[in-house]
Amino acid sequence: MTTPVASPLELTPEQTAIWIKGLLSIACADGHFDPEEKQLITSLIREEIAPEIDLEQFAPVTDAELQATFGSDRPLAENFLRTAVMVALANGIYSQSEDAELQRFCRALGLEIDALDSLKHTLDGQHESNEQTLRLLDPVRRWLDGLEIKDAKVARFLCRLIPPQCPFERDIVLFGRKIVHIPPLCKLNPLYDQLMGLRFRSLTYLAEECGEDITPYC
């Protein structure tokens, strides 16, 4: 049984800005940030979340920013890292560049999260979602399930970034001939349940705690 982690109070505007900047650093780490998705995120950030972030001149969050913002509060730092991991997993592929960025975050925050070691079993999609893989990922699954959302701006960002449902499997056909079969995301990502759990908690927080209309995210 998962033991919930005590959630921090709602973030200050300064903390929110660095939190979002860190998540954007992960989202852009592998160079596969979908242009349409980027446009939606850009609009959301400029209008609602952290207008002080200039996405045209965006630079990854620095070690000094992470240390100054989260370094003195371990529960807050771990919750930030949990959301960063979820963003890294949002497209179903955990890449070497995303792993390097997460390890940088850990060093900057002075944290050693043993559960993150098990994520290396999913690097670059070189895994199968079988029972053995799921057992190897049990530590990080339990760690991720400990996150609760307690900030509206972070919740909105995650709802935009995490796909609302498992994409349908499809065939790529060229000149009438199938050249590749793409399985649904839920088969590619053995941590898909944790990803959807985070999205659900974000939606629930916005609807029940903030009284927001969540239909734009569904």
Beta-strand ranges (E) seen in the chain are 170-174, 177-182
Per-residue pLDDT of the chain (218 residues; tens, 9 = 90+): 334 343 445 788 888 889 888 988 888 786 655 565 566 666 666 666 666 666 666 788 999 999 999 999 999 999 999 989 888 877 667 788 888 999 999 999 999 888 888 887 766 555 555 566 667 788 888 888 888 888 888 888 888 877 777 665 555 565 566 655 555 556 556 778 888 888 999 999 999 999 999 998 88
User: Does any domain span residue 49?
Assistant: yes
Q: How far apart are CA 76 and CA 5, in angstroms?
A: 10
Q: Residue 171 phi/psi, 5° resolution?
A: -105, 140
- Six-digit token string for 87: 């963003």
Confidence (pLDDT) at 175:
55
User: Does any domain span residue 48?
Assistant: yes
User: Does any domain span residue 91?
Assistant: yes
Domain with 26, as residue range(s), is: 13-165+193-217
pTM: 0.74
User: Does any domain span residue 180?
Assistant: no
User: Does any domain span residue 1?
Assistant: no
User: Does any domain span residue 47?
Assistant: yes
Total domains in the chain come to: 1
Confidence (pLDDT) at 36:
58
> Residue 69: in which H helix or E strand, if any?
helix 63-70
Q: How far apart are CA 95 and CA 192, in angstroms?
A: 16
User: Does any domain span residue 4?
Assistant: no
- Six-digit token string for 117: 């070691």
87 C-beta neighbours (distance < 10 Å), count: 24
